[in-house]
Amino acid sequence: MSEKVADAKMPVRRFANDDDLPIVDRVLAGDTQAFEELVRRHERRIYRTAFAITGNPEDAEDAMQDTFLKVYQHLGEFQRASRFTTWLTRIAVNEGLQRLRRRRKTESLDDPVMSEEDIMPRQVEDWRDNPEKAYATQEIRQFVEEAIRSLPPAYRVVFVLRDVEELSTEEAAEALGLTISALKSRLLRARLMVREALAARFGRPAGQKSEM
Amino acid sequence: MLDCKHVLAELSNYLDAEVSPELKRVIEEHLAGCHRCSLFYDTTRKTLKIVTEVGPFELPLDISGRLHARLRELFAGR
């Protein structure tokens, strides 16, 4: 690819557990099939991240395609100071944001102004026992999807990266360009909002006694 | 003793086991004596469990197919 490849082969610090790196090396050596392998490993997660930001399937697909095209063209610039997946996610976040801003000029991943009142839980009744057993998996999946979709983008993307895609706090913060404390504060709010949305489905019907 | 507001502020860190042993002890002491906070903790924990259990979202095959078709065009220099 580019002459910057040489730099990439002398990393600042390698992440010993980054199992993408051998594939990255094959791509840099010109193996296009290796790139397709890399894409297959990450496409689901990258689409999911882009969808969390844009909230729109067409924009998410477009952002995902452009993310992988950019990654292919700029792979030699990957410095390996973070895991490959973090670097890739950061590119996807930027692609998603560009499309979000095109659609909604005022939209950003900045923290919306929210008061403490906004995050104070409102649904205070207990949930029915084993709510996940009262519905089919497909129904529960739909409730979860709806709950996530109802969040503002700044919270939705944090929730998806941390609790759906299970990135670490540090990785999610790096991918989003946030400090650890900002990430944690949004994660708390996001979790409480998802809880609130699910409580509407799983709250205990009046009169049902807890077995706990 | 922590008040409810502070417990709520630490709820996420507590769920992620990212609190000091001392803070953990104080939070647990509060939860044991506060029905409301204990309920928030329990239902938030259930929320995360449910989100994990519904499993990964599958990428529709046509979306993946279009992506790989575009990559092959790129490789072919089109």
Q: Is A161 on the interface with B (CB under 8 A)?
A: no
Last residue of a domain, one of A71, A103, A135: A103
Three-state helix/strand/coil letters over chain A: CCCCHHHHCCCCCCCCCCCCHHHHHHHHCCCHHHHHHHHHHHHHHHHHHHHHHHCCHHHHHHHHHHHHHHHHHHHHHCCCCCCHHHHHHHHHHHHHHHHHHHHCCCCCCCCCCCCHHHHCCCCCCCECCCHHHHCCHHHHHHHHHHHHHCCCHHHHHHHHHHHHCCCCHHHHHHHHCCCHHHHHHHHHHHHHHHHHHHHHHHECCCCCCCCC
Last residue of a domain, one of A103, A138, A154: A103
A88 and A157, same structural domain? no
Domains and CATH numbers, chain B: 4-75 (1.10.10)
Kindly tell me if the per-residue pLDDT of A212 is higher than 80: no
Q: Let me know if residue A186 belongs to a domain.
A: yes
A125 and A88, same structural domain? no
Q: Let me know if residue A207 belongs to a domain.
A: no
CATH code, A19: 1.10.1740.10
pLDDT 10s digits, A174-206: 999 999 999 999 999 999 999 999 988 887 655
Q: Measured between alpha carbons, how far is B6 from A72 in angstroms, rounded to an integer? A: 46
A84 and A29, same structural domain? yes
For residue A44, what pLDDT band results from cuts at 50, 70 and 90? very high
* Predicted local confidence at residue A76, as pLDDT: 94
* Predicted local confidence at residue A112, as pLDDT: 63
One-letter amino acid at A89 equals: T
A184 and A150, same structural domain? yes
Q: Let me know if residue A70 belongs to a domain.
A: yes
A29 and A92, same structural domain? yes
- How far is the alpha carbon of A61 from chain B, nearest alpha carbon, in Å? 7
Q: Domain span at residue A37?
A: 5-103
* ipTM associated with this complex: 0.90
The structure's pTM equals: 0.83
Closest alpha carbon to A39 in B50, B18, B70, B27: B70
A77 and A9, same structural domain? yes
Kindly tell me if the per-residue pLDDT of A3 is higher than 60: no
A98 and A18, same structural domain? yes
% pLDDT > 70, chain A: 79
- Helix, coil or strand: residue B2: coil
In this prediction, the residues of chain B whose per-residue pLDDT falls under 50 are: none
- How far is the alpha carbon of B22 from chain A, nearest alpha carbon, in Å? 20
For residue A126, what pLDDT band results from cuts at 50, 70 and 90? confident
Chain B residues in contact with A195 by the CB 8 A cut-off are 40, 43-44, 47
Q: Looking at residues A82-100, what average pLDDT do you find? A: 94
For chain A, how many structural domains are there in total? Answer: 2
Q: Let me know if residue A113 belongs to a domain.
A: no
Q: Let me know if residue A165 belongs to a domain.
A: yes
A182 and A151, same structural domain? yes
* Predicted local confidence at residue A16, as pLDDT: 59
For residue A118, what pLDDT band results from cuts at 50, 70 and 90? low
Kindly tell me if the per-residue pLDDT of A6 is higher than 50: no
A129 and A98, same structural domain? no
Q: Let me know if residue A36 belongs to a domain.
A: yes
pLDDT 10s digits, A130-180: 777 778 888 999 999 999 999 998 999 999 999 998 899 999 999 999 999
Please compute, for residue A122, the number of CA atoms within 13 A of its CA located in the half-sphere on the CB side: 10
Q: Choose among B40, B52, B59: nearest Cβ to A121.
A: B40
Kindly tell me if the per-residue pLDDT of A108 is higher than 80: no
A80 and A39, same structural domain? yes
Closest alpha carbon to A53 in A161, A187, A143, A142: A161
Kindly tell me if the per-residue pLDDT of A59 is higher than 90: yes
CATH code, A133: 1.10.10.10
Answer yes or no: do A126 and B47 touch at CB < 8 A: no
Q: What is the mean pLDDT of chain A?
A: 83
Q: Let me know if residue A210 belongs to a domain.
A: no
Q: Let me know if residue A44 belongs to a domain.
A: yes
Answer yes or no: do A164 and B57 touch at CB < 8 A: yes
